[in-house]
Amino acid sequence: MSQDVSDLGVFLGPAAAAAAAAELVTREDVLRARDRQRVLRSRAGRHRLRLLWLLLGPGVLVMLGENDGPSMVSYATTGATYGIGFFVPFILLTFLMAYLVQEMTVRLGAATHRGHAELIFQRFGPFWGYFAMGDLVIGNLLTLMTEFIAIQVGGLYFGVPQPVSVGGGVLLVSLSLALRRYATWERTAMALAAFNLLFVPAALFAHPDAARLVHALAFWKPLPGGVNPAFVTMILADIGATVTPWMIFFQQSAVVDKGLTREDVREGRLDTALGAMLAALAAIATVVAAAPLFGAHVDVSEFASGADFASALRPFLGRFGATLFALGIMEAGLVAAMTISTSSSYALAEAIAERHSMNLDLAHGRWFYASAIGSALIAGAVVLTPGAPLLAMTLTVNVLATLLMPPALLFLLLLVNDREIMGDLANRRAANLAGGTIVVAISLIGALYGVITIFPGLLPG
């Protein structure tokens, strides 16, 4: 922008150039500058906790946002089907994977000040840009449907009619966008995301055996029943509950919208690590809360929705514990609906070279806001279609998210190894080894799922 102002000065003179420059400074610039001023004051005064608080947000939101409706139903299905032995340490491993992926995303956003979709178009061209967008949009729209399923089934537990709960969810997503201020939207979403931890007290009502839980964490218990198609599906669903393409697009754009710079990468890592730890705690709590169904040999494959989990758990958790579980499912759907619709908005606006920021007013951000509200309306309408298999849709979306992940990870790895844009924040050998291992592991599990789908007789049961 300074070059633009210098050029104006040559042709218009200093006074006219200053007036024209003022026109170039937008509301978005002013709001972000105010946020950065607070960060700089805290850094200069060595107020580390205040600095971390100011920079906290994208990492916590992306991790707790991924603890969405289908994810919590997947974790509940895991606990009810397999207990806590095998999958509790496996879930910790998936959140370690999520941290490694999102840490790369933080560095990429801080180094380039560009959203993920924008960078793919710039570095790889329109073909791969639209390919990545197709991957994201399909996955996001399907996932968004399951978020409104979660809101709907949580409402059903409390006797709220489906159109009221789904319509209320769409309205809340729309009203959150009307805040027109990134910092306010972020803090509002974080306050709602804190209710993801409702699953922790719900798990305590299950009276878990602490010694067994610690043993499960310390010693990876053999899988009951062996490897079969249901187990592979559950593995895919739990990976898709933790690592998905929308997370990369959302966190990178949020890092840019928040104004993080290279100096803020350390705090960005802490933000992401804190989010991963909180989300892992809630995920494991969900497995533990649903584990009594495993002990009672309840067949959850007959459940129609997540509301059936809360109802089935009432004899084990009590009315209050089951209520916490149902509220947690609703919260998971609502926060994820906010973050996923925003992820789509960032990416679509970047793809068509439109302005994309939560700091935009409604006139300048019409494409950004319209795409978020439009996707929420479409998803809500589909969910209200009579006879939809809600639980099956919920688990299938997590499986699909895992299958769509390898291309998204490959783009991310190529970008964070591009030293022209990354400089000294480019990936080093250890990060590339970790990222490559994640790509290979997810691809192999996806390939196994494809093989057993085509040839179901290869595995028992």
What is the residue-level pLDDT of the chain in tens, covering all 461 positions?
444 444 444 444 555 545 544 456 677 677 777 777 888 888 888 888 888 888 889 999 999 988 888 888 889 888 888 888 778 888 899 999 999 999 999 999 999 999 898 899 999 998 988 888 888 888 888 888 888 888 888 888 888 888 899 999 999 888 888 877 888 888 889 999 999 999 999 999 988 888 878 877 777 666 666 677 778 878 888 887 788 888 999 999 999 988 889 999 999 999 999 999 999 999 999 999 998 988 888 877 766 555 678 888 899 999 999 999 989 988 888 998 989 888 888 888 888 878 878 778 777 778 888 888 888 898 888 888 776 666 666 667 777 777 788 888 999 999 999 999 999 999 999 999 999 999 888 888 878 777 776 666 666 55
User: What global pTM score does this model have?
Assistant: 0.86
Measured in whole angstroms, how far is the alpha carbon of residue 73 from the centre of its chain? 15
Query: In this predicted structure, what is the pLDDT of residue 425?
Result: 92
Report the alpha-carbon angle 178-179-184, nearest 5. Answer: 155
Residues 113, 11, single domain; the answer is: no
Residues 310, 284, single domain; the answer is: yes
Residues 202, 104, single domain; the answer is: yes
Residue 353 DSSP code: T
Residues 135, 23, single domain; the answer is: no
How far, CA to CA in Å, does 17 sit from each of 4, 13, 26, 33, 139? 10, 6, 16, 21, 47
Structure tokens, 434: 């970790």
Name the phi and psi angles at 128, rounded to 5: -70, -30
Residues 272, 195, single domain; the answer is: yes
Distance CA 187, CA 184 (A): 5
Alpha helix ranges (H) inside 158-228: 162-177, 182-193, 199-204, 210-218
Query: In this predicted structure, what is the pLDDT of residue 394?
Result: 65
Do residues 356 and 230 touch, judged by C-beta distance below 8 A? no
Query: In this predicted structure, what is the pLDDT of residue 7?
Result: 43
Distance CA 373, CA 82 (A): 38
Do residues 148 and 166 touch, judged by C-beta distance below 8 A? yes
H or E stretch covering 313: helix 306-351
Classify 459 in phi/psi space as left (phi over 0), alpha (psi -120 to 50) or beta: beta
Do residues 154 and 291 touch, judged by C-beta distance below 8 A? no
Helix (H/G/I), strand (E/B), else coil: 386:
coil
The structural domain count of the chain equals 2
Last residue of a domain, one of 55, 78, 97: 55
Helix (H/G/I), strand (E/B), else coil: 298:
coil
Distance CA 223, CA 240 (A): 20
Neighbours of 19 (CB within 10 A): 11
- Residue for token pair 């390898």: 406
Query: In this predicted structure, what is the pLDDT of residue 305?
Result: 56
Do residues 278 and 64 touch, judged by C-beta distance below 8 A? yes
Residues 69, 12, single domain; the answer is: no
Residues 219, 265, single domain; the answer is: yes
Query: In this predicted structure, what is the pLDDT of residue 457?
Result: 65
Residues 233, 343, single domain; the answer is: yes
Do residues 328 and 199 touch, judged by C-beta distance below 8 A? yes
Q: Is 389 exposed, middle or buried (0-12, 13-18, 19+ CB in 10 A)?
A: exposed
Task: Name the nearest CA neighbour of 214 among 79, 83, 88.
Answer: 88
The distance in angstroms from the start CA to the end CA of the chain is 64
Helix (H/G/I), strand (E/B), else coil: 42:
helix
* CA atoms in the 13 A half-sphere facing the CB of 113: 7
Distance CA 144, CA 141 (A): 5
Distance CA 323, CA 158 (A): 8
Report the alpha-carbon angle 145-149-151, nearest 5. Answer: 115
Residues 104, 195, single domain; the answer is: yes
H or E stretch covering 41: helix 27-44
Residues 387, 333, single domain; the answer is: yes
Residues 209, 221, single domain; the answer is: yes
Residues belonging to the chain: 461
Do residues 333 and 307 touch, judged by C-beta distance below 8 A? no
Q: What is the 3-state secondary structure (H, E, C) of 71-140?
A: HHHHHHHHHHHHCCCCHHHHHHHHHHHHHHHHHHHHHHHHHHCCCHHHHHHHHHCHHHHHHHHHHHHHHH
Residue 205 one-letter amino acid = F
Distance CA 344, CA 143 (A): 11
H or E stretch covering 15: helix 14-24
Residues 160, 19, single domain; the answer is: no
The CATH number assigned to the domain holding 385 equals 1.10.4160.10
Distance CA 128, CA 134 (A): 10
119: containing domain: 56-458
Distance CA 85, CA 213 (A): 8
Do residues 241 and 75 touch, judged by C-beta distance below 8 A? yes
pLDDT tens digits along 77-113:
888 888 887 788 888 999 999 999 999 999 999 999 9
Structure tokens, 150: 């979660």
